[in-house]
């Protein structure tokens, strides 16, 4: 973004930066409005803006506002010839660099290039920092604190033989974590056998679970082992346990108490050694209240209960997962898409992901197939770009409130002694006057 009021310099700089996506504005107000909308990584700011084109008040005010709206932006301040004092002052206020007129296009171009480079490095650095420290479970992409806690819990529980139940909305990774529990356990040489209690008709489920003998019912042409028996020495994953009928709940409870099964149509009791992991998206307590789920079974299966947070509650994970999955999808679809554009990033972070990771996976897959650009856009993902003006407004008013509160506290603590209050706040006396005026707090001289 170029903030410059001189038409001649405007066109010179447009030409100088025609390789960039440039926005040119000529006042502080329009600059701030555009900054809100675009968050440009690099800003060239002329300190002499109208109505104070000969002085620096508008420019300096703009600098402060830009940095409070986009603290990471690299602001290059352009000052008058030989105006060392304001150049230095700007750096003190947080400008990235300064440049003194007259403008040499090649030189300014170098400064801008370097600013972009620094901006990118800082962003990258932040990303790495956030991903660090979370040792991943195999196949599980997670960087947020709450998912990190879940992963640590899984690691801790895995080597025990405790029965575990995983609660989570659809697509949150219940099956993935159940299989991680298995892989990290002493049973990893055995099988991980999953059965979805909601997907199999009730009359077939018993035989699916416990197996049947030849001739047990019409169509039972040979002996067939059930999932429980197949999981012997391994892990049995009972998905959607909340959908199990009361009759089968009783049979499952009996198995969990006695660790023996009887195949349908069979007479012998067969000992089976399995570790049971269950999952559900339902509220089992409510089902118990409603008389649809046995309380005694609930206690049997929930020696350890793990709540998997929905994707929207995992700070930044949606983007981390999207970035990580993009590599695999590029390979799968033989494409070479390089990341996400700004709109896509904002949309991914703002969307509430009712279908969680599964939905994210599906949307990404579609986007990689359909995308026509080098980067995936919000449109490719079929997501809406959030309207951010509201968030900024809130952020600004939150800052305003905080400032006011701290100021009042400092004044109260020092019984209104402005020197001591400004010392306490780490600001100068003129600044504390300004703040008091701004917040309409009495005592400041006019
Ligand atoms: N943290 C994660 N990192 C990478 N992939 C994940 C993560 N969580 C889930 N997935 C992937 O998302 C998809 C859905 O996960 P999974 O089947 O384990 O969820 P679920 O909770 O069992 O869903 P449902 O309720 O629909 O059965 C899978 O393809 C899984 O590999
Ligand atoms: Mg599942």
Residue nearest to atom 12 of ligand 1 (CA): 358
The CATH number given to whatever domain includes residue 123 is 3.40.50.2300
Same domain, 67 and 126: yes
Which ligand is in closest contact with the Cα of 194? 2
Residue 109 lies in a domain: yes
Residue 138 lies in a domain: no
Residue 444 lies in a domain: no
Residue nearest to atom 9 of ligand 1 (CA): 173
The CATH number given to whatever domain includes residue 426 is 1.10.10
Which ligand is in closest contact with the Cα of 179? 1
For residues 384 and 348, the answer to whether their CB atoms sit within 8 Å is: no
Same domain, 301 and 331: no
Residue 378 lies in a domain: no
Integer Cα distance of 410 and 408 in angstroms: 5
pLDDT in the model for residue 389: 61
Residue-number span of the structural domain to which 80 is assigned: 2-130
The CATH number given to whatever domain includes residue 301 is 3.40.50.300
Same domain, 236 and 322: no
The arithmetic mean of pLDDT across residues 423-440, rounded, is 90
Greater model confidence, 227 or 338: 227
Domain-terminating residue out of 100, 130, 160: 130
For residues 61 and 47, the answer to whether their CB atoms sit within 8 Å is: no
Residue ranges around ligand 1 (CB below 6 Å): 140-142, 168, 170-176, 281, 321, 357-358, 361
pLDDT digits (tens, 9 = 90+) for 260-315: 999 999 999 999 999 999 999 999 999 999 999 999 999 999 999 999 999 999 98
Residue 131: pLDDT band (50, 70, 90) is low
Q: What's the whole-number average pLDDT of the chain? A: 90
For residues 301 and 312, the answer to whether their CB atoms sit within 8 Å is: no
Same domain, 120 and 197: no
How many domains are contained in the chain? 4
Same domain, 150 and 286: yes
Residue nearest to atom 29 of ligand 1 (CA): 358
Domain-terminating residue out of 294, 309, 324: 309
Q: Which of 169, 170, 187, 183 is nearest to 137 (CA)?
A: 183
Torsion of CA 146, 152, 155, 157, to 10 degrees: -80
The arithmetic mean of pLDDT across residues 362-367, rounded, is 97
Q: Token match 């118990």: residue?
A: 288
Residue 445 has pLDDT above 60, yes or no: no
Residue 412 has pLDDT above 80, yes or no: yes
How would DSSP label each residue in 118-138?
HHHHHHHHHHHHHHTT-PPPT
Secondary element (H or E) of residue 164 = strand 164-167
Which ligand is in closest contact with the Cα of 139? 1
pLDDT in the model for residue 144: 87
Residue 375 lies in a domain: no
pLDDT in the model for residue 443: 62
pLDDT in the model for residue 80: 84
pLDDT in the model for residue 446: 41
pLDDT in the model for residue 290: 96
The CATH number given to whatever domain includes residue 326 is 1.10.8.60
Domain-terminating residue out of 270, 288, 309: 309
Same domain, 218 and 112: no
pLDDT in the model for residue 139: 85
Alpha helices in 39-160 (DSSP H): 57-69, 84-93, 105-131, 145-157
Question: 170 CA distance to ligand 2 centroid (A)?
Answer: 7
Residue 31 has pLDDT above 80, yes or no: yes
Greater model confidence, 384 or 446: 384
Same domain, 286 and 167: yes
Residue 414 has pLDDT above 90, yes or no: no
Residue 133 has pLDDT above 50, yes or no: no
Residue 201 has pLDDT above 90, yes or no: no
Same domain, 15 and 95: yes
Same domain, 366 and 393: no
Same domain, 294 and 316: no
Atom of ligand 1 nearest to the CA of 355: 26
Residue 391: pLDDT band (50, 70, 90) is low
Same domain, 27 and 117: yes
pLDDT digits (tens, 9 = 90+) for 190-199: 999 999 999 9
pLDDT in the model for residue 202: 85
The arithmetic mean of pLDDT across residues 343-367, rounded, is 95
Same domain, 156 and 224: yes
Residue 130 has pLDDT above 80, yes or no: no
Ligand 1 pocket: which of 134, 167, 176 to mutate (most atoms <8 Å of CB)? 176
Strand pairing category for 2-3 and 275-280? unpaired
pTM of the model: 0.62
């Amino acid at each position: 973004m170029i903030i410059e009021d001189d038409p001649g310099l405007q066109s010179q700089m447009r030409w100088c930066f025609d390789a960039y996506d440039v926005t040119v504005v000529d006042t502080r107000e329009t600059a701030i409005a555009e900054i809100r909308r675009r968050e440009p990584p690099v800003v060239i700011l002329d300190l002499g803006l109208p109505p104070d084109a000969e002085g620096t008040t508008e420019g300096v005010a703009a600098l402060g506002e830009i940095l409070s709206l986009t603290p990471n932006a690299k602001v290059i301040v352009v000052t008058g010839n030989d105006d060392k004092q304001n150049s230095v002052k700007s750096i003190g206020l947080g400008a990235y660099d300064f440049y003194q007129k007259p403008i040499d296009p090649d030189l300014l171009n170098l400064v801008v290039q370097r600013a972009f480079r620094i901006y990118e490095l800082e962003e990258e650095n932040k990303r790495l920092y956030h991903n660090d420290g979370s040792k991943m479970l195999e196949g599980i992409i997670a960087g947020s604190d709450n998912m990190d806690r879940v992963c640590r819990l899984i690691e801790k529980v895995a080597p025990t033989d405790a029965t575990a139940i995983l609660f989570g909305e659809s697509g949150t990774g219940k099956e993935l974590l159940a299989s991680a529990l298995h892989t990290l356990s002493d049973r990893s040489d055995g099988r991980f056998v999953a059965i979805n209690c909601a997907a199999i008709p009730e009359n077939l489920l018993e035989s699916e679970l416990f197996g049947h003998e030849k001739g047990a019912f019409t169509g039972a042409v040979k002996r067939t082992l059930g999932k429980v028996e197949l999981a012997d020495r391994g892990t049995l994953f009972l998905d959607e346990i909340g959908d199990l009928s009361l009759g089968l709940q009783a049979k499952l409870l009996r198995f969990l108490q006695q660790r023996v099964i009887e195949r349908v149509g069979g007479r012998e009791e067969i000992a089976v050694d399995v570790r049971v992991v269950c999952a559900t998206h339902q509220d089992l307590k409510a089902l118990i209240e409603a008389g649809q789920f046995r309380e005694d079974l609930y206690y049997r299966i929930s020696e350890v209960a793990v709540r998997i947070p929905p994707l929207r509650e995992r700070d930044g994970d949606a983007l981390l997962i999207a970035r990580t999955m993009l590599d695999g999808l590029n390979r799968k679809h033989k494409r070479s898409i390089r990341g996400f554009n700004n709109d896509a990033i904002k949309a991914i972070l703002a969307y509430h992901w009712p279908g969680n990771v599964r939905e994210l996976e599906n949307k990404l897959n579609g986007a990689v197939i359909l995308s026509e650009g080098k980067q995936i856009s919000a449109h490719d993902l079929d997501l809406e770009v959030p309207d951010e003006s509201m968030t900024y407004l809130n952020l600004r008013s939150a800052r305003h409130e905080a400032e006011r509160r701290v100021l009042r506290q400092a004044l109260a603590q020092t019984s209104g002694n402005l020197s001591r209050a400004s010392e306490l706040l780490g600001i100068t006396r003129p600044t504390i006057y300004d703040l008091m005026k701004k917040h309409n707090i009495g005592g400041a001289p006019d």
